[in-house]
Amino acid sequence: MACEQSSHMNQGEGEKSYARNSSIQSAAQKWMNPVVEEAVTDLMKKFSNASGSMVIADLGCGSGPNAIALASMAVDAIFRHRGHDEQVPPELCVLLNDLPDNDFSSVAKHLVAFQEDAPSFGPVLTAIVPGSFYKRLFIGSSLHLVLASYSVHWLSEAPEDLRKNRIPMYDCDEGLRQARRPLVLEAYARQFKKDFTLFLNLRAQELVPGGQMVISLLGHCSSDSTCQSNLLCDGVAFMLDDMASKGIIDREKLDSFYLPMYGPSDKELRKIIQDENSFMINKIVVHDVVSDMDKKSSITPKTVALATRAAYGPIVAQHFGSQGQVLEEFERTVELHVSAGSPKAVAPGFLILCVSLKKKV
């Protein structure tokens, strides 16, 4: 199941849309702010004498207000930095990328509003670049800053080993599921390593020497043993298994469903980056955004259900059928299990990993 073909968010700006149900992603972006500020500061020191332009790319921008938030954060930091030094601000170009099926009409509307505010910053040009970030997107040595939030944990495809050998992502039989668990975990880890290595190599080709990259993704802390046997797909698979047991979706279809997502540990990330060897690691920081939001009572079973549908609805509909009953029942099932406090509703221990990198000169 190719991520490029299936992994886009619910379109539009209605009640069920990603634009209206991405508060966790928004919180993750806000938490990235100081890391982006540090990257911009380092970038401006290196290119302090550059008189031309700077190019910022946001990969996997999504839709709605979040689509422009990261780039706006970086633009603001750049102009404030130049203002403090009383230097002429550079011309900036902001490039927003996502898969072709993304709701770019929504993105375009937010870009217009962003450009209307741009005079308060300085000259800012914008463009939309559709395509998979597991392919080349930009010309060589053209980018100064690459940003990505909540996107790189999406794989280019589900693990081929599982599909080839017809090993389900989630067995309904508990004993069989536990027996196969190491195979499933290893297959997903291998696929992530392959994809993230490619991602780093492609961005290294597109960034200027000394260029910066700040990305955040779902993952877990290597010192936390509670989530070593879990996958990001577990929660969704558990909901679908419940639906299959009630006859709402076909069991055979569930056995051939693979969610192309993987949440690495900080240790895995560090090893892959070091082995690929195009970047120096500025820092890798870990944060529990969901827990912080929960403490502020901003997360309820209904908001979790709507957010889950907004994120996974398209890929579920594509595999099991687009009839409204499937997605309505999917949403109800999520809300029911979250309300009941089911430990299988959401895989425990997953955090946001934020990685700040500099391309080697």
8 A C-beta contact, residue 248 and residue 312: no
Regarding beta strands 351-359 and 279-287, do their DSSP bridges make them parallel or antiparallel, or are they unpaired? antiparallel
Tally of residues, the chain: 361
Q: Supply the pTM of this predicted model.
A: 0.89
CA–CA distance, 222 with 238 (Å, rounded to integer): 24
Q: Determine which helix (DSSP H) or strand (DSSP E) holds 326, and give its type and residue range.
A: helix 324-339
Q: Which fold has domain 19-166+185-229+260-295+348-359?
A: Rossmann fold (3.40.50)
> pLDDT value at position 12?
46
Measured distance CA(328)–CA(324) in Å, rounded: 6
Instruction: Please give the pLDDT value at position 4.
Output: 53
Segment-wise mean pLDDT, segments of 10 residues, the chain, 361 residues: 47 49 66 92 78 88 85 89 68 93 87 74 84 98 95 94 91 90 94 98 97 94 65 88 92 93 94 98 86 60 84 88 81 91 69 95 87
Give the residue from 331, 347, 310 showing the smallest Cα distance to 24.
310
pLDDT at position 42 is 92
Interhelix angle for 104-117 vs 66-84, to 10°? 20
Decide: helix, strand or coil at residue 95: strand
Q: Which amino acid is at 177?
A: R
Looking at the DSSP bridge assignments, the partners of residue 157 are: 2
Looking at residue 357, its pLDDT comes to: 98
Q: What pLDDT does 225 receive? A: 58
pLDDT value of position 62: 86
Residues 6+ apart with CB under 8 A from 161: 167, 183, 187, 190
Q: Where are the domains of the chain?
A: 19-166+185-229+260-295+348-359
Q: What was the pLDDT predicted at 251?
A: 92
pLDDT of residue 97: 97
Residue 298 is classified by DSSP as -
Other C-beta atoms closer than 10 Å to the C-beta of 229 total: 14
